[in-house]
Structure 1
Amino acid sequence: MLISYTIERAAMQLDEEKHFTGSTVFNVEDHPESYEVTFMSKDGKNWDYSLHFAGEPGPEEKFLQVDEWLELHDDLFDDLLDAAIDAGGFE
């Protein structure tokens, strides 16, 4: 099942060592809380990420469901990453 989601906000910047750090906050349909995925990359090509609740914690089973979707659906991951890259003005 593919999820329905909306992006609230996104950001990306380069740190002093020229590493990319950014995040995207998004809502998932039928989930009570927003999520934030944080992205990190040393080269702008290979990305690590961390998922967490954007505000107050919500149900753990919903969180684990979203985390699994990120692992299994490259399109979802890429959309959230692209939102952050675009917000930072990077191509």
Structure 2
Amino acid sequence: MKWEIIHAEMTVAEDGGYVGQVQFKIEGHKQAYEIALQSNKRGKDWAYGLFFKDEAGPEAEIEAVEEELEDNDEFYEALIAAAKDALKQD
């Protein structure tokens, strides 16, 4: 699955953890996606929510992206890295 990151941002939460979001496209999918990211203070344990960016798209497509996030560590880590890089630039 080929992806392209189109926007990323991250902030430090009040509890010292991190909160961010990354918008990205998947080649061949009708809609772009947004992943919301949240971590603990150490930035080691991450939780996420996956959404269509602008409007709903085919359920099969978002399910495929969800499966890719679960199975492809490189993809998931690239999204986290993009958000971390956005924090460093602020």
TM-score range normalised by the length of the shorter chain: over 0.9
Separation in 2, partners of 1:75, 1:22: 18
User: What letter corresponds to residue 60 of structure 1 in structure 2?
Assistant: E
Task: Give the root-mean-square deviation of aligned CA atoms.
Answer: 1.1
Q: Identity percentage over the alignment?
A: 35
Q: Using structure 1 for the length normalisation, give the TM-score.
A: 0.92
Stretches of structure 1 that go unaligned for 5 or more consecutive residues are none
Once the 2 structures are TM-superposed, how far is the Cα of residue 8 of structure 1 from its aligned partner?
A: 0.5
Could you state the TM-score of these two structures normalised by the residue count of structure 2?
0.93
One-letter amino acid of the structure 2 residue matched with residue 33 of structure 1: Q
Match of 2:77 in 1: 78
Amino acid at match of 2:87: G
C-alpha offsets along residues 40-66 of structure 1, whole Å, 9 cap, x if unaligned? 011211101111111101000000000
Query: Deviating runs (4+, > 3 A) in structure 1?
Result: none
Say whether 1:62 aligns with 2:61. Answer: yes
Q: Could you tell which deviates more after superposition, 77-86 or 12-21?
A: 12-21
Unmatched 5+ stretches in structure 2: none
Query: How far has the Cα of 1:31 moved from its partner?
Result: 0.3
Instruction: Give the alignment partner of residue 25 of structure 1, picking from 23, 26, 29.
Output: 23
Q: Deviations over 1:1-58 (max 9, x none)?
A: xx11111000010022212000110000000100011110112111011111111010
